[in-house]
Amino acid sequence: MAGPLIPLTPLTEDAATCEGGICALPDPGTPPAVAQPELTLISFPTCPFVQRAVIALHERGAPFETVYIDLADKPDWFLALSPLGKVPVLKVERPGQDPAILFESAVILGYLDETLPGRKLFSEDPLTRAYQRAWVEYASAVLGDIWKLSTATDAAGFDAARQTLRARLAPLEAEVAGPYFAGTDFSAVDVVFAPAFRQLDVMETLRPLGLLEGLPKLATWRAALAARPSVQAAVPPDFTARYLAQMRKNGAYLIGAA
């Protein structure tokens, strides 16, 4: 027969107190706040890949500083930071550590999603997350096609680029749930397509392109992204004028044909 229960006292302030077979851990209290790193985004005003990072930062409510550079006249300090000489570049400064430099928009998106507080833009499910990353890559191909459309210098080149872009956009109609890519939740796929649609919005101030005719889900998605506050805040107020000036500098057929 077991003897009487003997109360146990903790050995230290952090130890558990046990009595009658039941142990109670001490209240740990409020955990100490973890200092968030200081983030500086090195940018170019019309770069769609930079906009991806800006949208993600706004979605998570993270404070950050933006430094604009001229890609046609890259400063030496930027070339020393960016191995590829491209934007975006994210400078991450943590207390007591040397600054870290991240480049490539998809890598920056992943880092922000894994480290910032708030709802994630990539799924926790590995298969869904891989599916999202696949469409993130697809968005880069779409941006490449948009670049060819915006820089075409004659009617034949413009028409060919338009047909290629239309063919690239068409498969998305079967994937978009609406109003956003995966339904009501704004995700990383929305982040990367929003800058692409913004460029089309600017080009269509010149003339209709008809790229989304017969693609109602894409048309709804495009409008939903344009109305998103984080998307609207991702570019400077004079973005449209800057983008059109860039097209004009490149001798874009669309500018002359408008």
As annotated, the active-site residues are: 47
Instruction: Tell me how far apart the alpha carbons of residues 199 and 205 are, in angstroms, rounded to a whole number.
Output: 10
Instruction: Tell me how far apart the alpha carbons of residues 244 and 211 are, in angstroms, rounded to a whole number.
Output: 19
CA 102, 103, 104, 109 torsion-angle sign = positive
Looking up tokens 């300090």 gives 77
Q: Cβ of 85: how many Cβ atoms within 10 Å?
A: 12
Phi then psi for residue 27, to 5 deg, are: -65, 120
For 71-86, give the DSSP string: TTS--HHHHHH-TTS-
Q: Cβ of 246: how many Cβ atoms within 10 Å?
A: 15
CA 176, 120, 51, 105 torsion-angle sign = negative
Looking up tokens 């991240």 gives 102
> What's the Cα-to-Cα distance from 176 to each of 54, 138, 150, 173, rounded to whole Å?
23, 14, 25, 6
Residue 201 carries which side chain, given as an amino acid letter?
D
